Structure 1
Amino acid sequence: MNLHRHYEDTKLELQIAPLIDVVFLLLIYFMVTASLIKKEGDISFMLPANVAQEDMIELPVEVLIEITNDGTVQMEGLRFSSEDRTLDSLVTQVAGLKQIAASQSSPFFVNLLPHQDAMHWRIIDVMDACAAAGVNSLTFSKSM
């Protein structure tokens, strides 16, 4: 038996035509499936064109006036001495803040925060200064 010589006589060839067909089928398959996937940037959306504006919210202008136990008055970082009974500079500052609130059409509030050991005459002095500045809304807060 001479099988070895039979294989040497036959020449092996690679068929290229079916290989090209398979490559084209794979190419078509991947092209079709790739177009089905939507990217995030391709999502369409509508922006609102004509939206009615909401009414403006009126933010009140609030002033906190602290009265310490030694009679010192503090407002927004300003200190007024306990010896100043008329508090003219406090009247000027509060009136200026009230004018700012009026120019913005905002409500204006003054909140008094007296220390629990503050003298009543000093609280009355501050209330008189607020009245001289034309304050209509005056409230008291409890000291911490």
Structure 2
Amino acid sequence: MRLPDTSGQRAPFRFNITPMIDVVFLLIIFFLVASYFVRSEHSREVALPDAQRGNPDDPSSEYRLTITVERDGKLSIAGNLVSEETVMQRIQELKASATAAASTGKQIARPEVRIRSDRDAQFAEIRKLVEHCAANGIQSIRFAVANQPK
């Protein structure tokens, strides 16, 4: 039987960091993918009206609400069908949260409503949304369009 060496010299402890680096890279990838899906907007498919010119969308606006109006007049927010009352409530909440943030002295962009309507949707549905935005003091209303190829 061989006895362990007891001369007082211990082998230095070697910490293998390779598994830790692997875990850190996996966490970085996870959070990058998760943040992408949080930022991407889930919406229902509609045939947007064509336009010859359009400005690119600014997704950085924190106080923005996107409302989709389908051909048959159904309304949706973030891909979920909602009632007209729910949409009106969300517009009021948008204005209230932007006002509350502005009262704290925080520099914010003004609240914005983006309307994605089907090209065959009735204008009466869109008009209701615009009128409710105006009644709540929301002045920035944008319409999503599909650019025509040149």
TM-score w.r.t. structure 2 length? 0.47
Indicate the structure (1 or 2) with the bigger Cα radius of gyration: 1
Give the number of the structure with larger relative contact order, counting CA–CA contacts within 8 Å between residues 6 or more apart: 2
TM-score w.r.t. structure 1 length? 0.48
